[in-house]
Amino acid sequence: MTPPLLARLLLLAFAAESEFEFVAGDLLEEFHILCRSHGRANARRWYWSQVIRSSAALTSLRMRHGDMAHVAAAAGFGVAVPLLLLDRLWTFVYSLIPLKEGLDRAPGFLAANIVCAAILAAACGATSRSFRRAAAIAVTVTAAAAFSTWESLGATPFLYVCSLLTAAPAGALLGYRSKGKLS
Amino acid sequence: MAKGETLGEFEHLILLAVLRLKTDAYGMRVRREIAGRTGRDVTIGAVYATLDRLEEKGLLTAKLSGPTPERGGRAKKSFTLTGAGVEAVNRSRRELESMLEGLRFPLPEGRR
């Protein structure tokens, strides 16, 4: 008898790394007790209700432990802000070149942006202690990269945006993996 | 007394549950103890968030025990009251008794 898979995945997403093992173990233990006393269907309902109603408390606990702060700082200060600054720098540099306007005519600058984003994301991924946190960083880094290119969306080629949104999460995950291999 | 030193209602319940459960006070048992005695449908998340806060305040101390098969091979985190925790419960009880002194219960319905 196992609790609902989706509820377990939700719990994995909400709970902090330091607490997940104990919370999941406690819920599983009580789930087995309830299966015996109230039947499997009731136990599954109870498990769902516990996970959903615990989400706010577990998220706040996660923030208190610095888990969320690390992910947000890595995505924001590690990738989004440097990318925005690079974008502004290239726009300024390019505006000084006569007869050429728009980032779409500067593939070299865009390629440099992608390489920078991948390297920064890899550095952020390498700071995570577990694959779970590296995956969370990869997701938020993608959102951060999307946010930082949002303003110049019309002026940049579609291929650039796609490459950036692929390079950023891939960099974060590769950064985590290569750290594991090195240590 | 500093503001952070006073116990909230739920914190008080958690400390009392840990006290009642003696050496086997971990998340699930604390949750069941409170639910069984007060009838409140407490969530495991709220219990862990409060246990963590009380541990941070130095009122509880945690100890990890080995994984068991009924927990899917996961470890258990058991809590016990520290000296400061015992003192906080005693103080809280004194305060409550002092406030209740001279009052007659149950109060008539609708009384202000």
ipTM: 0.87
> Of B45, B49, B71, which is closest to A25 when you measure between CB atoms?
B71
Is the predicted pLDDT of residue A134 greater than 60, yes or no?
yes
The residue range of the domain holding A43 is 5-64
Q: What is the rounded radius of gyration, in angstroms, for the C-alpha atoms of chain A?
A: 22
Same domain membership, residue A171 and residue A85? yes
Task: Please give the radius of gyration of chain B, using alpha carbons only, rounded to the nearest integer.
Answer: 16
Q: What is the pLDDT of residue A152?
A: 63
Residue B110 is predicted with a pLDDT of: 65
What is the CATH class of B8-99?
mainly alpha
Per-residue pLDDT, A183: 43
A173 contact partners, CB below 8 Å, separation of at least 6? A125, A134, A135, A138
B35 vs A107 pLDDT, higher one: B35
pLDDT at A100 over 70: no
* CA–CA distance, A34 with A46 (Å, rounded to integer): 9
Q: Which chain A residues contact residue B44 at CB under 8 A?
A: 23, 26-27, 50, 54
Residue B33: predicted pLDDT: 96
Q: What does DSSP assign to residue B62?
A: E
Q: Please give the pLDDT value at position A133.
A: 77
Indicate the angle between helix axes A5-14 and A17-38, nearest 10 degrees. 150
More confident residue, A161 or B64: B64
pLDDT recorded at residue B3: 47
State whether A73 and A106 are in the same domain: yes
pLDDT of residue A101: 53
Q: What is the pLDDT of residues A112-126, one digit of tens each?
A: 878 888 888 888 888
Which of B64, B86, B58 shows the shortest CA–CA distance to B76? B64
Q: Which candidate from B27, B32, B70 shows the least CB-CB separation from A22?
A: B27
For residues A29 and A81, the model is more confident at A29
Asked if pLDDT for residue A180 goes beyond 50, the answer is: yes
Please answer whether residues B73 and A20 qualify as being in contact, where contact means their C-beta atoms are separated by less than 8 angstroms.
no
From chain A, pick out residues whose CB is under 8 angstroms from the CB of B48.
Answer: 19, 22-23, 57-58, 61
* In a shared domain, residues A112 and A165: yes
Q: What gap in Å lies between CA B18 and CA B7, rounded to an integer?
A: 15
Question: Cβ atoms within 10 A of the Cβ of A52, count?
Answer: 15
pLDDT at B70 over 60: yes
Torsion, Cα of A168, A170, A130, A72 (10° steps): 10
Instruction: Report CB contact under 8 Å: A64, B26.
Output: no
Q: Could you give the number of structural domains in chain A?
A: 2
Provide the percentage of residues in chain B whose pLDDT is more than 90: 71
Report, as an integer, the average pLDDT of B4-24: 89
Domain ranges (residues) in chain B: 8-99
Tell me: do A48 and A97 sit in the same domain. no
pLDDT of residue A151: 63
